[in-house]
Amino acid sequence: MGGQYRITGDRYPRMRRPRRRGRLVALSVASVAVLGVGGWGTLQLIDVFTGGDDSASTLGTKAGCATRATPAAAPKTLPVPGTITVNVLNATTRGGLAQKTADELKKRGFKIGEVANAPKEYDKKVKGNGVLLGPAAALDTSLPVLGAQLAGAERRTDPARKGTEVDLIIGDAFRELTKKADADRALTALAEPEPAPASKKKC
């Protein structure tokens, strides 16, 4: 070519477009951000449909704290009624209560010892349903079993008392023994205690 457009020299000018590095960097950052958001959303969907990680829930890492049930207590070994001798004593002014009560306890399997009026220290001085009296060793053995037969009776122990016999001292509020079905349920509850209510751990 001639004139003002004449090319001189032995090299031709390069016609390549200038590089746009800024645009490439921006596209790379945007791609990473999109992938990150997509991955997080996928994990959230998996957590919703699978119920999350049970181990994390147990440790209280999710909202709220894990609820832990208290284990049930070991079953207690209680004496059966046939091994318990009961003295039935009447501390009221009503006649015949001691014998009637003794007869019912015998039907329920208890051994019957003395049937009589209450001694002076208790005679006409028991205002409630009754008093269950026995040696110290009977507090967690014979007395609870006998107590299931007379709800509301007061339990007392005499450390100086010898032997294994227990007394049922009838009080002024006494009307009759606890119904046998209810007494049997109370004995079952004594032998197999229920677990304590679940407690919530503080976060």
Give residue 184's pLDDT: 96
Architecture of domain 84-191: 2-Layer Sandwich (3.30)
pLDDT of residue 59: 42
pLDDT given at position 10: 55
pTM (global) more than 0.85: no
* Sequence-distant contacts of 121-127: CB under 8 A, at least 24 apart: 122/89, 122/91, 122/169, 123/91, 124/91, 124/92, 124/93, 125/91, 126/91, 126/92, 126/169, 126/170, 126/171, 126/172, 127/171, 127/172, 127/173
Q: Could you give the C-alpha distances from 146 to 48, 108, 151, 192, in angstroms and in order?
A: 55, 11, 9, 17
Residues in the chain with pLDDT < 50? 1, 34, 37, 45, 48, 53-63
pLDDT of the residue at 55: 46
